């Protein structure tokens, strides 16, 4: 299964990965070196739960920035 990931707020703009096993979005982000607590995942304008199993298609990873 192929998953296209678009990045917003990162140095890279997109990456396509081939999923050979069922992985949760948190596992995919960790494999990419991204802390899941610092991003929001979007598919078709809808936020995705990070503990959901990944499906093929396209998702957008948006870096969340907060300050105080």
Q: Which domain holds residue 15?
A: 2-63
Domain membership of residue 68 (yes or no) is no
Domain membership of residue 58 (yes or no) is yes
Domain membership of residue 29 (yes or no) is yes
Q: What pTM was computed for the model?
A: 0.88
Domain membership of residue 34 (yes or no) is yes
Question: At 23, which CATH number?
Answer: 3.10.20.30
> Helical H runs in 7-51?
25-31
Domain count, the chain: 1
Report the alpha-carbon angle 57-60-66, nearest 5. Answer: 160
| pLDDT per residue of the chain (68 residues) written in tens, 0 to 9 | 999 999 999 999 999 999 999 999 999 999 999 999 999 999 999 999 999 999 999 999 999 987 76
Residue 31: its H or E element: helix 25-31
Domain membership of residue 57 (yes or no) is yes
């Amino acid at each position: 299964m192929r998953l296209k990931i678009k990045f917003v707020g990162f140095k890279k703009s997109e990456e396509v990965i081939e999923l050979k096993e069922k992985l949760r979005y948190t596992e995919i982000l960790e494999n990419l070196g991204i802390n899941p607590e610092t991003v929001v995942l979007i598919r078709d304008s809808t936020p995705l739960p990070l503990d959901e199993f990944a499906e093929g298609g396209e998702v957008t990873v948006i870096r969340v920035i907060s300050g105080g």
